């Protein structure tokens, strides 16, 4: 395990370093992010969106090189997510509604084909519904993937925000699988962790590489798949433990959709600059912090870690985790409007 981790980290760092130094020779200029006009953009010079490609190539190269067959199950989902994002990185524009429908259709078919299941729901009425109506379960799992993937894409606005957030989630998942002897999932999680870490070195605190949509979609898919499988293999841990773990990625999408639709009365699929991390950035910037981009990523991930402390302590208390998940949602909503009103 240590040798695989070291190999992944060194090989990943080497790939990213060589690409940064030689992207013009490699004809990768098409992946430069020059679109400063985007509401979610906060950079002032072209940055190479190669992170998704490096993570994809490194991840599946390791699987083939070490013949880790237990991870082949993820290949279709990972490839679909990566290619959907790469279309955007290559400036092939798709209408938001068409992209959403394409996502739903692709994941619905893929999840059904791979027979991906959620078997550890600690919500009895959902279990009864899903036992009776198979396709409702597939739709539910599809929505889980789509929410987390889009959540990853939404918070990928600042250096290190998504990468550090995903590293925290993967570290916790790896601890669970190590503690409960789920070694196949542990190998999956460790490779994911060090693959993303090899990119994060070039993305935080100063960005020399961006993930691009291909990277954020792939990370979202990695997290979704690993969390579902970890939940399935650990029936002693309530499903709301994992809901609390993913609350920021999930609720950022859910809240933003209804905020735009009802509060601002506009198309909920069009990007804007009123997401939580953007408002916090403006707030920090007003305080004349020397590097508000760095400070925003650090603050949000630090707060996220603090909110998880009760989750660790009561990891097997289903009732507490149910209530605490909704407490987290209330805290997020209250904090959002407090920052927005004072913006």
4: Cβ contacts below 8 Å, ≥ 6 apart: 62, 66, 187, 190, 191
- Residue 57, classified by CB atoms within 10 Å of its CB into exposed (0-12), middle (13-18) or buried (19+), is middle
What's the pTM? 0.92
Instruction: Give 39 or 16, the one with higher predicted confidence.
Output: 16
Total number of residues shown for the chain: 343
Token pair belonging to 111: 């999840």
CB distance 80 to 107 below 8 Å: yes
pLDDT of residue 44: 58
Say yes or no to pLDDT of 190 above 50.
yes
pLDDT band at 290 (very low <50, low <70, confident <90, very high): confident
Q: Which residue has the tokens 């290619």?
A: 83
pLDDT band at 320 (very low <50, low <70, confident <90, very high): very high
pLDDT digits (tens, 9 = 90+) for 17-74: 888 888 766 666 666 765 544 544 555 567 788 888 899 998 888 877 776 665 667 8
Q: What percent of the chain clears pLDDT 90, i.e. is strictly above it?
A: 47
Token pair belonging to 322: 């149910």
């Amino acid at each position: 395990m240590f040798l695989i981790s070291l190999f992944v980290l060194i090989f990943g760092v080497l790939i990213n370093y060589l690409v940064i130094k030689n992207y013009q020779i490699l004809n990768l200029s098409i992946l430069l992010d020059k679109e400063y006009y985007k509401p979610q953009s906060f950079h002032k010079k072209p940055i190479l969106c190669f992170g998704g490609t490096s993570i994809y190539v490194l991840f599946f190269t390791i699987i083939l090189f070490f013949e880790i067959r237990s991870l082949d199950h993820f290949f279709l989902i990972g490839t679909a997510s990566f290619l959907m994002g790469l279309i955007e990185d290559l400036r092939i524009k798709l209408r938001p509604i068409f992209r959403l429908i394409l996502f739903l259709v692709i994941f619905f078919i893929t999840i059904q084909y791979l027979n991906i299941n959620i078997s550890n729901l600690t919500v009895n009425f959902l279990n009864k519904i899903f036992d009776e109506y198979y396709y409702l379960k597939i739709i539910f799992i599809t929505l889980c993937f789509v929410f987390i993937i889009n959540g990853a894409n939404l918070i990928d606005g600042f250096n290190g925000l998504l990468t550090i957030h995903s590293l925290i989630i993967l570290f916790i998942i790896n601890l669970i699988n190590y503690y409960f002897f789920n070694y196949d999932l542990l190998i999956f999680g460790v490779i994911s962790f060090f693959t993303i870490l090899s990119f994060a070195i070039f993305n935080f605190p100063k960005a020399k590489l961006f993930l691009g949509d291909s990277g954020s979609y792939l990370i979202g898919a990695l997290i979704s798949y690993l969390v579902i499988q970890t939940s399935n293999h650990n029936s002693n841990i309530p499903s709301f433990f994992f809901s609390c773990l993913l609350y920021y990625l999930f609720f950022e999408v859910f809240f933003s959709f209804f905020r735009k639709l009802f509060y601002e009365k506009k198309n909920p699929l069009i990007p804007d600059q009123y997401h939580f991390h953007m408002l916090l950035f403006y707030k920090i910037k007003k305080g004349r912090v020397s590097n508000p981009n760095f400070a925003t990523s650090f603050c949000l991930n630090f707060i996220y870690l603090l909110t998880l402390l009760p989750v660790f302590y009561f990891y097997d208390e289903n009732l507490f985790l149910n209530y605490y998940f909704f407490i987290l949602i209330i805290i997020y909503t209250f904090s959002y409007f407090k920052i927005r009103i004072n913006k």
